[in-house]
Chain A
Amino acid sequence: MSNASLQPSNTMQPSDTLQLPKPLEDAVLGINRASRRSFLKASGALVITLSIGTLPGTDTLAQEGAAAPAGPYPDPDFLQLDTWIVIHPDNTATFYVGKTDGGQGTGTAYRQMMCDELDIAYDKTHLVMGCTDITPDQGGSGGSDGVERDGMTMRRVAAEARRVLLEMGGERLGAPVEMLAVANGTISLKSDPAKKVTYAELLDGKRFNVALTGRNVDNATGKAAMKPVSDLRVVGQSLKRYDIPGKVDGSLKWAVDMKLPGMVHARNVRPPFAGARLVSIDEKSVADVPGFIRVVSRGNYVAVICEREENAIRAARQLKVEWKRPDTAPFPPSDKLFDYMRTATPTFTSEPRVEGDPAAAFETAKRVLQAEYEVPFQGHTAIGPAHALADPSDGQMTIYSNDMKAYGLRTGVAKFLDMPREKVRVVYMDGPQVYGRTAADDAGFEAAFLAKEVGRPVRVQWMRDEETAWDTKGPPYVFKLRGALDEQGKLTALEYDACAADHAHLGYNEPDTVLVAQLMGRRPERPARGNAEAPSVLYAIPNRRTTTRVVALPMVWETPLRTGNLRDPNGPQVTFAFESFIDELAAAAKADPVQFRLEMLEQAKEDAVFRKARSLATVRAAAKAFGWDTRPSPRPRSAATRGNVLTGRGFAYTYRSNTIAAIAAEVEVNRETGRVWVKRMVCAHDCGLAINPEGLRHTVECGMLHALSRALWEEVQFDNEKVTSVDWISHPSLRHSDTPESVEIVLVNGDPNPNRPDLPHYGAGETSHKPVIAAVANAIYDATGVRLRRPPFRSERVLSALKAAST
């Protein structure tokens, strides 16, 4: 297969009417529902043929006109091959998967995997994701397991399609399957390549009509085996992402761009302080706004609807609303948060997990170290605020959304509006980065509610202050760690205690916990328990005690301090504390930080996915690529100093699920200003088989820089009734001028049998995000001898720490 044939096709062509990505036409226009997804362009109504065939390829792909009424929208059957793959008469294929792509290029990776198993050229395929009525429910995205888990299902069903087509080809060409060759969607005789037949000719416009088996979508499979890794040709290529051209030339239609006839614009009017009670609305205060339609309010939820967007914004600002403050402060101010968390009564306390005899080990320790760490609330603060368009036409509800969990949004909205699920569908379209934010897609619920209220398509979009203040946030943490070192400087015991303010954690599209539901007064039977997590530890530490607890802020509901899933919801916080403390122990033991870790990894037990071997390989690869100078921290002052700048290097390592990441960072700390500049980062990364190495590198790199932004800048600030960091001035983010001089990604395959035919492909969306804050803190310590135990490491905090230490 030549490289040229692997180049991705350009952007999908827009349709005449709605200018949607072509494969979305079905979903949006409601055509071809009976056949589900014939892309045969029919002029006028044609006869629908849906015979009940029992052999592959006996059903004709039906064609019908575009005039069919909307809905209902039953679930696609994941146990039918036709749900996943359609071969078109021009011998191209469309793949249908129940995932979404927040910009990490997973869509391209899915296509590559399915192309390989189906034996079809990449540029002869399209991919449709996350549209609830035409793609099988794979749950959308989350947890970085799309390539790892859902990709396996995709490979299996594509392999099954190939198997079925090969059988049909054998029959057509009069030869057993062993005598056939297949490439680029064409089957030929090995002995006589001129005798050939294409996939399209075999199917001849018919369906596969092949049943799959499996208890659930993750187990769906046919009879075919997947190819061994050595036979994969499209996988492993750094193909360019198919979605980028349309994002660069302005032609791609995003969820935020969707328009429908009769559509109106809504804006929310948020309570000015947490826990506010709506007293009255003076609707006359917006009577002069052109195109004003109405104010919709229920409970403490208020929105205005206007014909034009700018007028909805104006009306939302202008609307006079009287609110009543709650009797008690909803939360402590951000500068008192950790004091509050330390003394609050836990809402959940885990059973202590004890290995060995930590008490005895501490008694006999040569040296005991103790440290506390704090991580503040950090938000998603997506570059594009929440948005959705909902269409209530024909008694159905269609939501155009970038919800990463489109299926959950569908189910949640159906419950929220008390509509049958079959009448609700979600059309997933591109949107701003997600990382868990749209797992609880507030705007989708709001748009659907408002559309039902006014009987017209409603587009809602949040404003910047609203998004930055009210989005879901990563939980804040307070950690206490104790470690025991023996005579040789070995870590013999570790106590880990974590407390997270994560009560009522808002994970998903639940009809009683999304913000609009809370404001309307809906409550779940009991709040989500929330979680304080233990670190991902492979290190051999003979005696350990782990305790975790969750606390609640005084106000649980209708508060902007809502915790949700933020890019490995607890990983960056937990890894910051744990890997900082490991660094403190190494320094106390006067050991090199990398050697200290390697020794504990070498003593670790191996597991089924070879995390020990892969961790060792990854840590070594990072140190090698970085040019790690083996010595204890901190760096001798004379070596670290260059004028006003102190330089140092730090290391951190972790894993998430089955993926390993080790990061080395070099920093410059300005003694006069306190500014920290991370000059260089190296990440070694082992996620097994790389589907698209360049795409993988990009994802790993951006995950690191996102974490760097959390390390240097990000913190939600609030007084005792409202969030006060509400825009890009009061809530700074990493900028161009903050980027390191270089970020290097080393892809590692540390599997003990690296060429095995079933080498797994693990997730990559979050692992490199986890260890960055710790690596930076450790580098700052190396440079300055000052330990920073609370991010973000903004200049003023660094400067005061340096001054306190007389550095």
Chain B
Amino acid sequence: MSIVKLKVNGATHEVDVDPSTPLLYVLRNDLDLHGPRFGCGLGQCSVCTVIMDGAAVRSCITPVAAVRGEITTLEGLSKDGKLHPLQQAWIDEQAAQCGYCQNGQIMTAKAFLDRNPNPSDKEILEAMDGALCRCMTYYRVQAAIKRYVRGTKSAAGRQAATGTESESAPAEEFTAAAGTGPLMASTAGEAK
């Protein structure tokens, strides 16, 4: 055991653990940060992803002694009780099913979009390919990323026009896509 110093989500922590301990267990069990979860322990699925100095890393295979720089976990994305616009996009698109993998989806996307704020569809697929989801929410995840990118662009546009800072992407109105009555399904077998 030895004392390891970690800076996580803006706070500094000292933990007394074996230096070879994967970062995942320190975050979850010592720092009570449950965003990253165990999925494979092999760096294959991304469920445990955290951001280390801007890069998405798999905390399940990162020894705590190998940590360099500041760690951001899912819990660290929101600021002052306000969700990060990427998280808001996730809610707007209702991206999750069970949600167990969504930490990996969001953190992988965050690190990627910070590097490439205006990606093509193909670049999104490539960047996200290592983030597995067994509920298969891939579309919603991709839609959330695109929504965030659109929001960032229009916020940047507004900022350029007005010279003011925009904290977050405009939240697009969530619309009940299928109307307002209980008989959303079209009637008499006519497809909508």
Taking Cβ atoms with an 8 Å cutoff, the residues of A that contact B are 3, 102-104, 229-230, 232-233, 235-241, 243-245, 247-254, 256-257, 259, 290, 308-311, 313, 381-385, 430-434, 461, 463-464, 613-614, 616-618, 620-622, 624-625, 684, 686, 688-690, 693-695, 697-699, 701-702, 704-706, 708-709, 727-729, 733-737, 739, 743, 746-750, 752, 754-755, 759
Contact = CB atoms under 8 A, between A and B. Distances in A.
Given A238-B178, A257-B34, A750-B189, A248 B96 contact: yes
A639 B77 CA distance: 51
- Secondary structure call for the B interface: loop
B98 A432 contact: yes
A749 B176 contact: no
B189 A616 contact: yes
Interface in B60-97: 73-75, 77-78, 83, 87, 90-91, 94-97
A702 B136 contact: yes
Contacts of B83: 245, 248-249
B185 A686 contact: yes
Contacts of B171: none
9 contacts: A237-B180, A249-B83, A463-B41, A617-B190, A689-B185, A706-B136, A708-B136, A709-B136, A733-B132
B189 A613 contact: yes
Contact of A736 (B129, B186, B189): B129
B186 A749 contact: yes
B148 interface: no
Contacts of A103: 96-99, 135
Contacts of A613: 189
B136 A253 contact: no
Interface in B92-132: 94-103, 106, 124-126, 128-132
B25 A256 contact: no
Task: Enumerate the 8 nearest inter-chain pairs by beta-carbon distance, A residue then B residue, closest first.
Answer: A617-B189, A236-B182, A103-B98, A247-B99, A705-B136, A621-B191, A103-B97, A749-B185
B186 A748 contact: yes
A688 B185 CA distance: 8
Interface in B137-192: 137-142, 174-192
A528 B32 CA distance: 43
A393 to B, nearest CB: 20
A102 B98 contact: yes
Contacts of B73: 250
A618 B75 contact: no
A686 B134 CA distance: 25
Given A248-B83, A617-B189, A238 B177 contact: yes
Contact of B42 (A230, A240, A689, A727): A727
A464 B42 contact: yes
B11 interface: no
A385 B38 contact: yes
A697 B140 CA distance: 11
B18 A310 contact: yes
Contacts of A248: 83, 87, 90-91, 95-96, 99, 102, 106
Highest count of chain A CB atoms <10 Å: which of B75, B91, B189? B189
Chain B: interface size category: 35 or more
Contacts of A239: 176
Among A244, A690, A734, A739, the most chain B Cβ lie within 10 Å of the Cβ of A244
Contact of A381 (B99, B134, B189): B134
B40 A728 contact: yes
Contact of B135 (A236, A624, A702): A702
A689 B182 contact: yes
B126 A737 contact: yes
A727 B129 CA distance: 16
Nearest to B104: A383
B97 A693 contact: no
Interface of B: 1, 17-18, 21-22, 25, 28-29, 32-35, 37-42, 44-45, 47, 73-75, 77-78, 83, 87, 90-91, 94-103, 106, 124-126, 128-142, 174-192
A746 B129 CA distance: 28
Contact of B25 (A310, A624, A625): A310
A698 B98 contact: no
A308 B102 CA distance: 26
A739 B139 contact: yes
Given A433-B135, A747-B178, A759-B183, 7 more contacts: A248-B87, A430-B99, A431-B98, A620-B191, A727-B44, A739-B139, A747-B186
Max count, chain B CB within 10 A of own CB: residue among A239, A431, A432, A624: A432
A739 B138 contact: yes
Interface centre among B1, B74, B83, B178 (most CB of A within 10 A): B178
A493 B192 CA distance: 36
Contact of A728 (B45, B95, B106): B45
B33 A250 contact: yes
A454 B134 CA distance: 35
Contacts of A238: 175-178, 184
Nearest to A311: B18
A706 B135 contact: yes
A430 B135 CA distance: 14
A430 B98 contact: yes
A728 B42 CA distance: 9
B188 A617 contact: yes
A624 B191 CA distance: 8
A311 B103 CA distance: 24
A463 B136 CA distance: 21
A701 B177 CA distance: 15
A230 B182 contact: yes
B178 A693 contact: yes
Nearest to B45: A728
Contact of A690 (B38, B99, B184): B184
A706 B139 CA distance: 12
Contacts of A733: 132, 134
Contacts of B28: 257, 309
Nearest to A738: B138
B102 A247 contact: yes
Contact of B44 (A235, A240, A430, A729): A729
A245 B132 contact: no
B10 to A, nearest CB: 15
A736 B135 contact: no
A250 B34 contact: yes
A249 B182 contact: no
Nearest to B173: A3
A736 B138 contact: yes
Contacts of B130: 735
A72 B66 CA distance: 48
A746 B38 contact: no
Given A727-B44, A739-B138, A308 B25 contact: yes
Nearest to B122: A737
Contacts of A381: 134
B63 to A, nearest CB: 10
A736 B125 contact: yes
A384 B47 contact: yes
A284 B29 CA distance: 27
Given A728-B132, A736-B142, A737-B129, A250 B74 contact: yes
Contacts of B17: 308, 310
A747 B90 contact: no
Given A310-B21, A739-B138, A249 B187 contact: no
A728 B101 CA distance: 14
A690 to B, nearest CB: 5
A622 B101 CA distance: 31
Nearest to A256: B37
Contacts of B87: 248-249
Given A384-B47, A750-B189, A736 B131 contact: yes
A253 B34 contact: yes
Contacts of B176: 3, 237-239, 693-694
B18 A245 contact: no
